[in-house]
Amino acid sequence: MPRPAVFFKWLSVPALLLATTAFAQLPESVNRALEKAGVPPENVAVYVQQVDAPQPVVSHLADQAFSPASVMKVLTTYAALDMLGPAYRWRTAIYQDGVLENGVLKGNLIIKGTGDPYFRAEDFWQLLTYLRQRGIREIRGDLVLDDSYFQPVQDNPGAFDGEPYRAYNALPSAWLLNFKATSFRLVPDPIHQRIDVLPNPEVPEIRVDNRLALTSGACGDWKQALRYEVQPIPLNPAADNSAALMLVSFRGHYAASCGEKALELSLLDDGSYTLGLFRKVWQQLGGTFTGTVRWGSAAPSAALLAEYWGTSLGEVVRHINKYSNNLMTRQLLLTIAAERKGIPATEANGAIAIQEWLASKHLDFPQLIMENGSGLSRVERISALHLGSLLMDAYHSPVMPELMASLPILASDGTLSSRLKASLAAGRAHIKTGSLEGVRAMAGYVLDNMGKRWVVVFMANHPAAAATGKAQDALIEWVYDQQGVGCCTGKGP
């Protein structure tokens, strides 16, 4: 796989001296971990402040702009919670543009989306069940998809890292179904000495060529041990823009000790994905449909047949932050844009809306650069000081419970489920992490051993940043042991 280009803002010695403050020293335990990782302190920003204190106890290069990776999601989700409210829901509606007689729709079925980030296959099934309950059994027109709520994003899904089929690179859309993802479950079968590869949802447009070998031994990095190749095969080579069958070939080996795992891929365009799932579900519900899929808009005269109000924003941000979902975050930024700046929504307008929201809260973040709000970006930047200020503001806001509950719990769930399990700090930190090549970051809250809560931010931008996990752990444990008093002396506990 080709390595993406990485851009860092290297700090000169004069810049480092200018950034030094009375609270610039790092805890010695953090310094030791950074030295062992081979990452100089000038490539790390750290901010630590008790939530009820007037100033930080650690502010190391905190005013410098760093790449935050997925920690940027903290800003996007807090902004959404505060602007839209935790009870905000997305509406998905189905209209008809023909005549309905005796259970037969003589016309098109139109689905209009408003960017629901969490509209899953089971929600689609429920929405189509509403149609069957209305007595509709046969559709003699086409399936028309209306995605006019967002301006279409024209990015190349493989531009970031050369992996166009990985689910985390999927592009946002006002009509988003099941994250555009096919989950390939890998199920060891030691009796028959094989690995079963089971796609979900299973649609005829996707076929699997499975040549994985079952092995013994430790699981290790199972994703690196297998390879996949996607080959689009046009169903009608003689026709322009023909729909394609996607053949997914799996090679390599998979250890039985890994148990069941899943690889998430986004293989089909929105129309093909929706059509395949629609046909499958509609047939299961006893309906018939012989049309195709196309894009269009619901006319004002179109009759409403059914609507579905999705999961609340308070629940959506939990799925975003616990598992660091990039696509859902991009959907959220576009929703902010639609609600605050009008439709069709753009990511640029979402960033403007967040800047205006920050200004309304007297939070001045001149170094902030937002591209898509998810952190899956080489240009997004924010300082540790601003992340810390944001978390301080959030802690004293009405939506604090929803935001904190959305952050992974140390040693318990989400992206932190296996982190610091043997530590006394286990279960006492709500932390969002972020990682890109050359970037490791975390931001959130730590409850110390005296019951006082702290805001903690750590960002490393360096080719060896992946090795700074121990330094992050050392900072969490140092904060846990602070007992809520004193300032940073440079000596660890």
How high does pLDDT run on average in the chain?
Answer: 92
Sequence-separated (6 or more) residues with CB below 8 Å from residue 123: 92, 308, 310
Q: What is the β-pairing status of strands 429-436 and 439-447? A: antiparallel
Does residue 173 come out as left (phi exceeding 0), alpha (psi in the -120 to 50 range) or beta?
A: beta
Residue 293, SS3 per DSSP: strand
What whole-number distance in Å separates Cα of residue 116 and Cα of residue 122? 14
Closest C-alpha to 73, from 444, 471, 462: 444
Residue 298, SS3 per DSSP: coil
CA dist 403 → 73, 85, 315, 407, 481 (Å): 11, 11, 10, 7, 25
CA dist 405 → 68, 322, 409, 418, 430 (Å): 21, 9, 8, 18, 8
At 80, the amino acid letter reads A
At residue 154, the pLDDT reads: 86
| Six-digit token string for 173 | 């859309």
Cis peptide upstream of residue 234 (ω within 30 degrees of 0): no
Q: Which CATH number fits domain 89-164+283-310: 1.20.1440.230, 3.40.50.720, 2.170.150.70, 3.50.80.20?
A: 3.50.80.20
At residue 487, the pLDDT reads: 46
What whole-number distance in Å separates Cα of residue 436 and Cα of residue 414? 18
Q: Which CATH architecture has domain 13-86+313-480?
A: 3-Layer(aba) Sandwich (3.40)
Q: Tell me the helix, strand and coil percentages in the chain, rounded to 5.
A: 30, 25, 40
pTM score, two decimals? 0.91
At residue 238, the pLDDT reads: 61
b/e 310-326 (16+ beta carbons within 10 angstroms → b)? bbbbbbbbbbbbbebbb
What whole-number distance in Å separates Cα of residue 452 and Cα of residue 464? 33
Taken in order 61, 63, 66, 71, the sign of the CA dihedral is: positive
Residues of the chain with CATH 3.50.80.20: 89-164+283-310
At residue 124, the pLDDT reads: 97
What whole-number distance in Å separates Cα of residue 17 and Cα of residue 45? 14
Residues of the chain with CATH 3.40.710.10: 13-86+313-480
Closest C-alpha to 51, from 369, 289, 364, 388: 388
**Cβ–Cβ under 8 Å, residues 449 and 480:** yes
At residue 234, the pLDDT reads: 79
- The tens place of each residue's pLDDT in the chain, 493 residues long, gives 333 434 444 333 333 333 334 456 899 999 999 999 999 999 999 999 999 999 999 999 999 999 999 999 999 999 999 999 999 999 999 999 999 999 999 999 999 999 999 999 999 999 999 999 999 999 999 999 999 999 999 889 999 999 999 999 999 999 999 999 999 999 999 999 999 999 999 998 999 999 999 999 999 999 999 999 999 987 766 655 545 689 999 999 999 999 999 999 999 999 999 999 999 999 999 999 999 999 999 888 899 999 999 999 999 999 999 999 999 999 999 999 999 999 999 999 999 999 999 999 999 999 999 999 999 999 999 999 999 999 999 999 999 999 999 999 999 999 999 999 999 999 999 999 999 999 999 999 999 999 999 999 999 999 999 999 999 999 999 999 975 444 444 333 3
Strand blocks (E) in 213-324: 213-215, 226-234, 244-255, 261-265, 288-289, 293-295, 303-309
What whole-number distance in Å separates Cα of residue 249 and Cα of residue 269? 19
Residue 388, SS3 per DSSP: helix
Neighbours of 344 (CB within 10 A): 15
167-207 pLDDT per residue, tens: 999 999 999 999 999 999 999 999 999 999 999 999 989 99
Closest C-alpha to 458, from 23, 48, 33: 48
DSSP type of residue 397: S
DSSP type of residue 69: G
